[in-house]
């Protein structure tokens, strides 16, 4: 694995936040820091001191109930106090928190003070609806300021938010409302996507019709489309907050009180509700953004993800606000009205740090380097990547065409479960294109063979995390057994990431993709079992097997092998119908790229579908061992 090495410019290193932290503690180089930070109590305790605690902790890490770890026990804390309230006594109060740009092109600049007031008003509105500490509230919203406002309002009063990506179908929304047993749903009349209005309230209505737990629906007027309002259940956002006070004290919570749940795909048809909490999550997200993306008071930060995914939770909402940063919030599609929309925003708003996905980079690559070249991108000083392995070609294109041939790229490896970056460069790290480099301070990771021994350098194996970390998931909502089973049972005491990875001679990690039945479509996780259960719910389908096949832009895309019920004709029209069916059952991201009809699917003698064979076939690879095949 001989690789070119990209060393950071001296100026970046010398002025970096991580270097300042090292200097403060008399630490001469990165290796010494990584070593010293293995003392978790010291490292995490030290960074936690930069946040504001109502009452200090007794213990940094309590591992007595492992793998149900607890952090900062005994402390009183509220993440929203650290995002907003504490800035009201500093110059950050008048600083811009969000530069919001709508898809049609309006720009709004929200100061910290305005955001604070709006959050307080909405928090008071939630209280008026009877929302109390611990209650669950589901959000189904586009990328508008009211989305973070609603999240922060929930967290401020100790309610738990569950954000459902606005591209999901009504059925997916219903399942998530029911699983969370949400009392309130917050949505908008509509959302803009590529110039068209997507009718979110319509999906919300369909979901609520089958989710009786949901007593209230708050609707923010965004697109102005006509929506029916159900008397006694539905209320407009502006009516709810009308006349309410813009003051609201943050609920003093325990560090381990729940902040949110976020559903992500696993290996079964049922998504997992990942649980995050206030204290440790705040410490992890605050410090990783500060150290990895090196945010300074004058930076304009743009995490170009959707708030519906963990990237948006951690790095659009919570971490930037705790850091007092200015962020871009862009409502629309990256290629609307033209594929240089992003570059015009970078140029106009003088964005300094841009964080996006390999999928987006590959899409821009396809449109050619002329588009970014038309814009002045010289305000940028650092770049980032997340969501899937970045191929070295895309890495170099990104550096050359967006980074002016000189910017360092922070390839951050992490998961919904980890809450924060885990394996990632710092601004002081030498980079190898395609590698997420090494574990961050306070993180210990390794690569194991199938039987649990350390893999040799360069050998692909299973990625594991060897020590707990403050922003780790605490459990799976209402399913602690599945939490233990999924993450902690394969190698007891070690967290199984589900990723295939190799570590080179320098200890750099090279992620390859998932090892389980989980795809990574355009940086979003999708379980093959979810797509299969949607397909078999169609009246004409008998059986279905879904595999991931590589796609030039999106990383993986689902391909489905389907057997039909007796008497059903195999037509192209039915293929199209099934594709659309999956899109309406789950959401557009799950729509198979290709469907193939089969008379039979390959099965083991015990009746399990052998996806491995179908996958090898789809990829034109040798099928390997078939001794367990039925016939």
Residue ranges that bind ligand WT7, judged by CB under 6 A: 264, 310-311, 386-389, 411-416, 436, 497-499, 511, 514, 520, 523-525
Minimum CB–partner distance for residue 478 and ligand WT7 (Å): 19
Minimum CB–partner distance for residue 311 and ligand WT7 (Å): 4
Nearer to ligand WT7 by C-beta: 128 or 588? 588
- Angle of the 392-401 helix axis to the 358-367 helix axis, nearest 10: 70
* Beta-bridge partners for 274: 262, 476
Nearer to ligand WT7 by C-beta: 208 or 305? 305
Nearer to ligand WT7 by C-beta: 436 or 462? 436
Structure tokens at 141: 């919203």
Nearer to ligand WT7 by C-beta: 240 or 521? 521
Minimum CB–partner distance for residue 521 and ligand WT7 (Å): 10
Measured between alpha carbons, how far is 143 from 560 in angstroms, rounded to an integer?
31
Nearer to ligand WT7 by C-beta: 415 or 563? 415
Structure tokens at 154: 């929930």
Minimum CB–partner distance for residue 320 and ligand WT7 (Å): 16
HSE (side-chain half, CA atoms, 13 Å) at 428: 19
Residue 114, SS3? Answer: helix
Nearer to ligand WT7 by C-beta: 76 or 514? 514
DSSP 431-469: B-TT--BSBPTT--EEEE-TTSSBPPTT--EEEEE-S--
Nearer to ligand WT7 by C-beta: 158 or 461? 461
Nearer to ligand WT7 by C-beta: 157 or 275? 275
Question: Is residue 299 within 8 Å of 289, Cβ to Cβ?
Answer: no
Q: What are phi and psi of 411, to 5 degrees?
A: -90, 100
Measured between alpha carbons, how far is 279 from 62 in angstroms, rounded to an integer?
13
Structure tokens at 471: 């922003």
Taken in order 33, 38, 40, 41, is the CA torsion positive or negative?
Answer: negative
Minimum CB–partner distance for residue 261 and ligand WT7 (Å): 14
Minimum CB–partner distance for residue 520 and ligand WT7 (Å): 5
Measured between alpha carbons, how far is 141 from 125 in angstroms, rounded to an integer?
17
Nearer to ligand WT7 by C-beta: 468 or 498? 498
Nearer to ligand WT7 by C-beta: 436 or 610? 436
Measured between alpha carbons, how far is 157 from 177 in angstroms, rounded to an integer?
20
Minimum CB–partner distance for residue 308 and ligand WT7 (Å): 11
Minimum CB–partner distance for residue 453 and ligand WT7 (Å): 22
Measured between alpha carbons, how far is 537 from 316 in angstroms, rounded to an integer?
36
Nearer to ligand WT7 by C-beta: 463 or 602? 463
For the chain, the first-to-last Cα distance in angstroms comes to 41
Minimum CB–partner distance for residue 587 and ligand WT7 (Å): 14
CA 150 to chain centroid, in Å, comes to: 18
Nearer to ligand WT7 by C-beta: 78 or 385? 385
- Strands 70-73 and 59-62 turn out to be antiparallel
Minimum CB–partner distance for residue 386 and ligand WT7 (Å): 5
- Strands 76-77 and 253-254 turn out to be antiparallel
Measured between alpha carbons, how far is 188 from 453 in angstroms, rounded to an integer?
51
Classify residue 387 as exposed, middle or buried by CB count within 10 Å of its CB (0-12, 13-18, 19+).
Answer: buried
* Beta-bridge partners for 524: 521
Minimum CB–partner distance for residue 306 and ligand WT7 (Å): 11
Minimum CB–partner distance for residue 498 and ligand WT7 (Å): 6
Question: Is residue 532 within 8 Å of 269, Cβ to Cβ?
Answer: yes
How many residues can be counted in the chain? Answer: 631
Structure tokens at 579: 């594709």
Classify residue 498 as exposed, middle or buried by CB count within 10 Å of its CB (0-12, 13-18, 19+).
Answer: buried
């Amino acid at each position: 694995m001989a690789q070119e090495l990209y060393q950071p410019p001296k100026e970046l290193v010398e002025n970096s936040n991580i270097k300042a932290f090292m200097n403060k503690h008399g630490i001469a180089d990165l290796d010494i820091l990584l070593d010293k930070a293995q003392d978790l109590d010291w490292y995490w305790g030290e960074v936690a001191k930069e946040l504001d605690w109502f009452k200090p902790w007794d213990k940094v890490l309590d591992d007595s109930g492992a793998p149900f770890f607890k952090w900062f026990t005994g402390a009183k804390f509220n993440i929203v106090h650290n995002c907003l309230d504490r800035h009201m006594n500093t110059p950050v109060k008048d600083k811009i928190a969000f530069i919001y740009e709508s898809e049609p092109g309006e720009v709004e600049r929200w100061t910290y003070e305005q955001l604070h007031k709006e959050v307080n008003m909405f928090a008071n509105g939630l209280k008026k609806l009877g929302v109390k500490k611990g209650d669950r509230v589901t959000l189904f919203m586009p990328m508008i300021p009211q989305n973070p406002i609603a999240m922060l309002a929930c967290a401020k009063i100790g309610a738990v938010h569950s954000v459902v990506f606005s591209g999901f179908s009504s059925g997916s929304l219903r399942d998530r409302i029911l699983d969370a047993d949400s009392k309130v749903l917050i949505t908008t009349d509509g959302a803009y996507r590529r110039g068209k209005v997507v009718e979110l309230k319509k999906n919300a209505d369909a979901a609520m019709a089958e989710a009786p737990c949901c007593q209230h629906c708050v609707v923010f007027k965004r697109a102005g489309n006509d929506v029916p309002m159900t008397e006694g259940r539905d209320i407009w956002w502006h009516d709810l907050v009308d006349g309410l006070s813009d003051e609201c004290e943050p609920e003093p919570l325990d560090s381990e009180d729940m902040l949110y749940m976020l559903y992500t795909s696993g290996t079964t048809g049922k998504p997992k509700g990942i649980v995050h909490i206030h204290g440790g999550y705040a410490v992890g997200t605050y410090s990783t953004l500060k150290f990895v993306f090196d945010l300074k008071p004058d930076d304009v930060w743009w995490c170009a993800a959707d708030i519906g995914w963990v990237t948006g939770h951690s790095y659009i909402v919570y971490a930037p606000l705790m850091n007092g940063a200015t962020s871009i919030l862009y409502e629309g599609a990256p290629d609307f009205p033209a594929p240089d929309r992003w570059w015009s925003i970078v140029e106009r708003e003088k964005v300094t740090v841009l964080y996006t996905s390999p999928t987006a980079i590959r899409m821009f690559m396809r449109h050619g380097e002329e588009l970014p070249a038309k814009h002045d991108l010289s305000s940028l000083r650092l770049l980032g990547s997340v969501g899937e392995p970045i191929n070295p070609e895309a890495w170099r294109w990104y550096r050359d065409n967006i980074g002016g041939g000189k910017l360092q790229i922070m390839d951050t490896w992490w998961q919904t479960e980890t809450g924060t970056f885990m394996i990632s460069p710092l601004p002081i790290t030498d980079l190898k294109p395609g590698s997420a480099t090494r574990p961050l301070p306070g993180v210990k990771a390794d690569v194991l063979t199938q039987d649990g021994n350390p893999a040799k350098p360069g050998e692909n194996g299973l990625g594991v995390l060897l020590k707990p970390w403050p922003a780790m998931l605490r459990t799976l909502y209402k399913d602690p057994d599945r939490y233990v089973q999924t993450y902690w049972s394969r190698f007891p005491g070690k967290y199984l990431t589900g990723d295939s990875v190799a570590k080179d001679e320098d200890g750099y990690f090279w992620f390859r993709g998932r090892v389980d039945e989980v795809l990574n479509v355009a940086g979003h996780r999708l379980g093959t079992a979810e797509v299969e259960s949607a397909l078999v719910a169609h009246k004409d389908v008998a059986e279905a097997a879904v595999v991931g096949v590589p796609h030039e832009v999106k990383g993986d895309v689902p391909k489905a092998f389907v057997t039909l019920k007796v008497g059903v004709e195999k037509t192209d029209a039915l293929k199209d119908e099934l594709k659309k069916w999956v899109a309406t059952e789950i959401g557009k991201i799950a729509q198979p790229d290709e469907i193939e009809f089969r008379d039979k699917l390959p099965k083991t003698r015990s009746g399990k579908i052998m996806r491995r064979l179908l996958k090898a076939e789809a990829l034109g690879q040798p099928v390997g061992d078939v001794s367990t095949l039925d016939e």
